[in-house]
Amino acid sequence: MTTPRKLIHIDMDAFYASVEQRDFPQYRGVPLAVGGTTAQRGVIAAASYEARAFGVKSAMSTYKALQLCPQLVVVPGRFDAYKQVSAQIKAIFSDYTDLIEPLSLDEAYLEVTENKKHSPSATLIAYEIKQRIVAETGLTASAGVSYNKFLAKVASDFNKPNGLCVIQPHQAQAFIDKLPIGQFYGVGEKTEPKLKALGVYTGADLRQLSPQSLQSIFGRTADFYYHLARGQDDRAVETNWVRKSIGTENTFNQDITDKAQMLQALRPMSEEVLDWMQAHDTFGRTLTLKVKYSDFQQVTRSRTEPKAFRDVEKMMKHLSQLLDLTQANAKPVRLLGVSLSKLGEAERPDEPEPTSWQLSLPLLA
């Protein structure tokens, strides 16, 4: 009989906002958000739990956030501070295992089936890591423990903040059957309505779909969801995996039409992408802007440079130009996204590679 793997997913609680509250005592216990501080044009990047109680959340305009919570304190991000804490947390992980897959500055998968502490219990390891994070950084983290990535990640979000949730193999199917369909990996704003239109609201409903129905919804990933609904996920914790791109996006509570406001929203996203790349010692030469209009039409605009994008001002200059190649000046925008690709490719400073523009065809989202 095969011994189940032991995986932990660690997710820091309200990471950016929690660092600010730790470093500045005046912010503790009050509603706090990290993001654009200009009420008319700012966008929230992260919100403390005190702010979330009023409905404030990431990707929301600062204007809307202040409407929901007039006493909200909004501060600009300090990404150097967040990187420093992230390095501390990774050092803690490394005391237990070398099988670490960072997903961002504030979350990672750890495989502890075999571990440096020779502990038979992944739950005890997760508890000890959480305690050390508090002791060494003054911050809290939530942990999910299970035998595969899907369940570990879902579990880490189950008892936030400062939670610890364990899903044993014999508990998995009952847990999945009750899981809302929107909490399944990769089921987003496009796919969730399609599933609900078919009467699929939970994992139990997903498990009842025929392979043909899954194929019509998920295409090439139909098999993946067939297995997820049955608690099966064989993805490994990859320490040296090659990522093709890194990006982030925000959906706004209210459509925006002003270019300056769009650029204000794109700045923290650009900083987040660059921060991830610096933390992973990589870079990217292709910058892509994603725009979704209020009518749900979606377009992307990309630019490839001979040298990598390494600073936010360079990114912002090109994002401004890319915005001008869309209809954002004429149509309300509900979502913006930023990504960098061609990661890790050798730079060619002496090669006069021409700049190329890639215009994608509109897609209905």
| Predicted pLDDT of residue 9 | 98
Given pLDDT bands bounded at 50, 70 and 90, which one contains residue 272?
confident
Q: Which residue has the tokens 């009952």?
A: 174
Reported as a single tens digit per residue, the pLDDT across 177-197 is 999 999 998 888 778 998 999
Q: From the candidates 20, 50, 101, 107, give the one annotated as an active-site residue.
A: 107
| Predicted pLDDT of residue 354 | 33
Cα 98 from Cα 110, distance rounded (Å): 8
Given pLDDT bands bounded at 50, 70 and 90, which one contains residue 328?
very high
Phi and psi dihedrals of 331, rounded to 5?
A: -125, 140
Q: Are 103 and 109 in contact (CB under 8 A)?
A: yes
Residue 363 to residues 177, 295, 301, Cα–Cα distance (Å): 33, 11, 13
| Predicted pLDDT of residue 279 | 66
Q: Kindly list the structural domains of the chain, giving each domain's residue range(s) and its CATH number in brackets, ordered by start.
A: 1-167 (3.30.70.270), 169-239 (1.10.150.20), 245-364 (3.30.1490.100)
Given pLDDT bands bounded at 50, 70 and 90, which one contains residue 273?
confident
**pLDDT of 352 higher than 70:** no
Phi and psi dihedrals of 339, rounded to 5?
A: -145, 155
DSSP characters over 88-132 = HHHHHHHTT-S-EEEEETTEEEEE-SS-TT--S-HHHHHHHHHHH
**pLDDT of 281 higher than 80:** no
Bridge-partner residues for 299, per DSSP? 291
| Section 314-331 average pLDDT | 93
**pTM of the predicted structure, to 2 decimals:** 0.70
**pLDDT of 365 higher than 60:** no
**pLDDT of 356 higher than 70:** no
**pLDDT of 37 higher than 80:** no
Handedness of CA 223, 228, 230, 231 (dihedral sign): positive
Reported as a single tens digit per residue, the pLDDT across 194-220 is 899 999 999 999 999 998 889 888 888
For the question of residue 107 being annotated catalytic, the response is: yes
